[in-house]
Copies of this chain bind each other. A is one copy, B any other.
Amino acid sequence: MTPDEFRRAGYAVVDWIADYWATLGQRPVASQDSPGAVAAGLPAGPPEHGEPVEAVLADLESLIAPRLTHWQHPGFFGYFPANTSGPSVLGDLVSAGLGVQGMLWATGPACTELETVLLDWLADLLELPKRFHSGSGGGGVIQDSASSATLVATLVALHRAGGGRWREVGVDRRYRAYTSTQGHSSIEKAARIAGLGTDGVRPVEVDPDTLAMSPAALRAAIEADRAAGVVPAIVVATVGTTSTTAIDPLPQIGAICAEYGVFLHVDAAYAGAAAVCPELRFGHAGLEYADSYCFDPHKWLLTGFDCDAFWVADPAELIEALTVLPEYLRNAATESGAVIDYRDWQVPLGRRFRALKLWFVLRWYGVEGLRAHIRSGVALAGRFADRVHADDRFELAAAHPYSLVCFRLRADDETNAELLARVNATGRVHLTHTRVAGRYALRLAVGSPQTTEAHVDEAWQLLASTADALLPR
C-alpha cells in the first residue's frame, strides 16, 4: 500500500469511526446473537488475491459491528469503564504508523524518553509520593494491564524475599502473597504464574461494613504464617476493589508491611485516575509505604486499552529481577548505564509506542479537562445512587466513593438476576453484577465521556419499570 493509497483508505476508515461514534447511541449496547454467528459469516480462508479496504469496511459494518458489546456506548455501565477518546485513538494511530519497537532505548530513543517524562507528569498530576518520580530515584513504565503490573510486582517481591537469589535458584514455595478477599483475580493468577500456586495466596478478611482489608486480620495472618515457618513476601492492597470500589486502609497496612519487611504493591487500577482531582485523593493516603503502585489510564482517564501506569520506588531491584541480556541486544547506550531499557521492566521483550496516546490525551484535554471528566462520572453516579436511595424497593449494596454504584432490589438473588437480564435485553443499557457478602448485586459504572444525565436517568427508568413488573405491588 503506497502512501497515497494509505491516505485515501485512511480517510475512509476515519470516516467509518466518526460515523460509528455518531450513531453509537442508537445501536443496541450488546448483541443478542448466539455464539457462532460471526464465524458462520466468514469464508473458509483468506482471499487468493487482494481486496480493497472498502470491502473490509463493508463486512465490518454488516458482520462485525452488530456482534460487539459496545464499550464506548453512552449506555455501557458494565464492569469498569474502558474508555477511549478521539485523541487517544489518534495517538495510537501515530504509534501504529511509526511502527517503532521500543524494547531498548537504542531501538527508539524518543519512545523511551517520552514515556519516562509522561509517567513523571502523571505522578505529579495524581500527587503520588515523590519516591515514584524518576527525579527521586523511582520510575514509571507503561504495562499492558494491571494484571501484568501485579505480576511484575510479585516477581520483584519474590526476588527481594529470596535475598537476590530468586533469579538464579527459583521460587521458594514457602513464600506467600496477601490480599483481601475482595482483591482482583489477577493477584491469584500472578501467584500461580510465579509458581506459588493458589495455595500461595492468603485471602485476608475484610471489614464487613467497608469491605476493606482488615489490618488486624492481615497482622494475624502474617504472624501465624511466620510462626509456621512461612515467609510473607508481598501484600497487594487495593484502592477501589473491582466488586464495589472498597478502599483498603493503606496507612495501617503500610505500617504492618514496614514492620515485617513485606513488599507492598498498591493496585488502584480503576480508582487511581480519580486522584487527578485534589478532592478525590483520599484513597491514596498512606501510599508513601508502597514499593509499587499502578492505575489504568485505560479505565477512567480517556486513554484506550492498553495503558496501565506502573511505578516502582526502586527500579534497580526490578531490573535485576527481570533482565536477560543476549549478545544481539547489546549496544553502547545500554552499556553506558545512562538510559532506560524498558524491556527489563516487563514480561515481553517487544513494546509499542504507547506513550503517544497518553501524550495526545493529556494535551488535548489538559488538566482541567481530565478533572472535568472524573467529576462528571462521580456526579452521575451520585445522581443514580440518589434515585436508588429514594426508592424503597431498592437498596444500595455498598458505598460509592467513585463512579460505581452497587445496588439491589430488596428481593432474592434470582429476582435481581432477572432484573439485570431484562434491563440488558432492552439493548439500551448494559450493566453487570457482583456478589456483596454473598448476595447478588447489580453494578452501574459510569465512565464514558458520552454518558450524560439523560443516559443515567434512562437506566434508572428501565430498572424502575422492570421492578414494577417483577415485584407485586
From residue A350, how far is it (CB to closest CB) to chain B in Å? Answer: 5
Q: How far is the CA of A196 from the CA of B144 in the complex (A)?
A: 24
Interface flags for A139-155 (1: CB within 8 Å of B; 0: not) read: 00000110110010001
A86-132 interface (Cβ within 8 A of B): 86-94, 96-101, 105-111, 113-114, 116-117, 121, 124-125
Contact of A366 among B50, B79, B304, B328 (CB under 8 A): B50
- Chain B residue at smallest Cβ distance from A436: B327
Given the known inter-chain contacts A45-B125, A194-B194, A435-B327, please indicate yes or no for A113 contacting B169, CB distance below 8 A. Answer: no
Name the B residues within 8 Å of A19 (CB-CB). 3
Is the CB of A68 closer than 8 A to any CB of chain B? yes
Q: How far is the CA of A110 from the CA of B61 in the complex (A)?
A: 12
Stretch of A204-212, A280-288, A356-364, A380-388 that contacts chain B = A356-364
Contact of A147 among B99, B100, B349 (CB under 8 A): B349
From residue A295, how far is it (CB to closest CB) to chain B in Å? Answer: 14
Contact of B443 with A328 in the complex, beta carbons under 8 Å: yes
Name the B residues within 8 Å of A117 (CB-CB). 38-39, 42
Contact of A71 with B100 in the complex, beta carbons under 8 Å: yes
Is the CB of A5 closer than 8 A to any CB of chain B? yes
Q: Report copies per complex.
A: 2
Contact of B194 with A38 in the complex, beta carbons under 8 Å: no
From residue A345, how far is it (CB to closest CB) to chain B in Å? Answer: 12
Contact of B48 with A368 in the complex, beta carbons under 8 Å: yes
Contact of A185 with B37 in the complex, beta carbons under 8 Å: no
Contact of B46 with A362 in the complex, beta carbons under 8 Å: yes
Is the CB of A434 closer than 8 A to any CB of chain B? yes
Is the CB of A47 closer than 8 A to any CB of chain B? yes
In this complex, how many residues of chain A approach chain B with their Cβ under 8 Å: the count is 152
Interface flags for A64-82 (1: CB within 8 Å of B; 0: not) read: 1101111110000011001
From residue A110, how far is it (CB to closest CB) to chain B in Å? Answer: 4
Given the known inter-chain contacts A113-B38, A369-B50, please indicate yes or no for A17 contacting B93, CB distance below 8 A. Answer: yes
Name the B residues within 8 Å of A91 (CB-CB). 56
From residue A272, how far is it (CB to closest CB) to chain B in Å? Answer: 16
A to B CB contacts below 8 Å, 11 in the list: A5-B86, A10-B17, A20-B98, A50-B366, A68-B98, A188-B324, A189-B349, A194-B194, A243-B327, A327-B435, A347-B347
Given contacts A1-B364, A186-B348, 15 further A-B contacts (CB under 8 A): A6-B14, A6-B18, A20-B98, A31-B109, A31-B110, A35-B339, A49-B367, A64-B114, A70-B98, A79-B328, A144-B144, A168-B199, A169-B173, A169-B197, A306-B350
